[in-house]
A and B are shown apart, each in its own frame.
Chain A
Amino acid sequence: MNSTTTIMDAKAIDRAITRITHEILEYNKGPEGLALVGIVTRGDILAQQIALRIAQIETMQVPVGTLDISFYRDDVAAHLAPELHTTSLPFDVNGRTIVLVDDVLFTGRTIRAALDAIMDYGRPAEIKLAVLVDRGHRELPIRADFVGKNVPSEPGEHVRLFLEQVDGRSSVEVWKAMPGERIGSAPVPSSTTKAGTTRTSHIEATKSDTTRTSREETT
């Protein structure tokens, strides 16, 4: 194996989540009308943590949903999700401001699929994208509105978020892929696991009004 570099440790991840939370609240001018939707299996944990912080700051519970985008992926013919997770959006998406939460934003394809999935539930007022890490290399005109950290990376590298709840440790790590290995596939821990493997993230370009959108991309 080749060497692994840790880009963020647990503390840094924690701080980034806190900062993203504040930015979301600042953008939305509070928690009203807000809903978080985490993409399984790490985006949903991040979404829970953001919701927890919002509850602490605003003493208000914002609804949190989880989304499995397996059926919306553009490579079903080639790759099946190793395991499916329940999609649960326990709120009316119509008219809401939805913040889609994912771990690592890469090609943008996961976010494209997630947008389609949410649209099948209704017509939100707007959808924003929060990611813990943006590693670049977008293949679609999609960018994040709230970013924990920009991590310049090589296309042939893995950039991956590990979380205490699933992986037993919290960190963001970078390492070189083995030849022929699919980049972007999230690890599949034996018990929990991953859905939509080609873990690539995406979001449609919304107007980059607020926040530190790290990487400006055109629509």
Chain B
Amino acid sequence: MGGLSSRHLLEIEALNSRDIDTIITTAQSFKEVNERVIKKLPTLRGRTVVNLFLEPSTRTRTSFELAAKRLSADAINMSGSALATVKGESLVDTAKTLDAMDCDLVVLRHAYAGSPHILARTMRARVINAGDGKHQHPTQTLLDLFTMRQHFGRIEGLNVGIVGDVAHSRVAGSLLPALAIMGASATVIAPPTLLPARPDVLGAHVCTDLDSILPELDVVYMLRVQQERLGRSPFPSLREYAQLFGINSQRLATLKDEAIIMHPGPVNRGVELSSAAVDTAKNLLLYQVSAGVAVRMALMYLLLGGEEDGFAA
């Protein structure tokens, strides 16, 4: 079966496990394309994709731009500083303006939770959430799931530990419900000051002792310490944080043989990951990045294609 049960990707819960399987399988085909000399397909010729990045993010924007261009769509980048929102135009008006230009897909990165819903309510175009405030980052989650599937051949039953600033992390915000959807087990490992009020509603177990749980994990998902998002520091020092919640050589040695380390990037070397933990073969950070392009190609293909099949409509 092709197509997805949702016409937008506003949050990860819009997808069921079959949708996620479809995206992963489709992304595998695109991964193959990305390994060719000519990394370009005519699939979305004539379609227009707008990358509306109201919050700076070179990495995610580049990944979406590459994905669109490799599918031959016309990709246009609109970034925060150049944008009318700064001049007092509301997101609703920006959405209406883009719609009047007949774009087919808007990829939105914004500092405020739920903002993709405003676009989806206002526009005819499809909408992909590329990160909304502290809420979710569903395409990051899909590429994370892709990476786990490629490495383990499955997602169901994996034991995933998410370490770090879960409270302020949109990456964890979508990964946790996704792991629940896919039948994996999730534990959040962080000082209580970096946990959301109710991790249980996201389906997560809670642990504050990294060393006790590390040998049991299949996936050690390290979150970036986002100092720019924090007000009063929720831990006494980076040194203490690294000591309690960072992965270093000693902790690397306690991992299962087949266990992997993942990270949404960019890494703070020496904080959540020591250099050894960045450079180990267990660290799939760069694989995640390359998977990101394929997964975003798959999403665009599945969201923009198949209108008459009743998929995605």
Contact = CB atoms under 8 A, between A and B. Distances in A.
Interface string A84-98: 111100000000000
Contacts of A72: 41-43
Nearest to B311: A80
A120 B36 contact: yes
Nearest to A88: B32
Given A71-B301, A72-B43, A116-B42, A80 B2 contact: yes
Contact of B304 (A77, A86, A87, A122): A77
Contacts of A121: 36-38
Interface in B32-91: 32-33, 36-38, 40-44, 47, 71
Contacts of B311: 80
Contacts of B183: none
Interface in B258-313: 301-302, 304-309, 311-312
B270 to A, nearest CB: 41
Contacts of B26: 84
Contacts of B3: 80
Contacts, number: 68
Given A71-B301, A122-B37, A79 B1 contact: no
Contacts of A87: 29, 32
Nearest to A68: B29
A78 interface: yes
B29 A86 contact: yes
B42 A79 contact: no
B159 interface: no
A82 interface: yes
Interface residues of A, number: 21
A76 B303 CA distance: 11
A78 B308 CA distance: 5
Contacts of A181: none
B29 A82 contact: no
A76 B44 contact: yes
Contact of B302 (A77, A80, A83, A122): A80
B19 to A, nearest CB: 13
Contacts of A120: 36, 38, 40-41
6 contacts: A71-B33, A71-B42, A77-B304, A79-B308, A81-B2, A87-B32
Given A71-B41, A79-B309, 5 more contacts: A76-B43, A77-B307, A82-B2, A83-B25, A84-B28
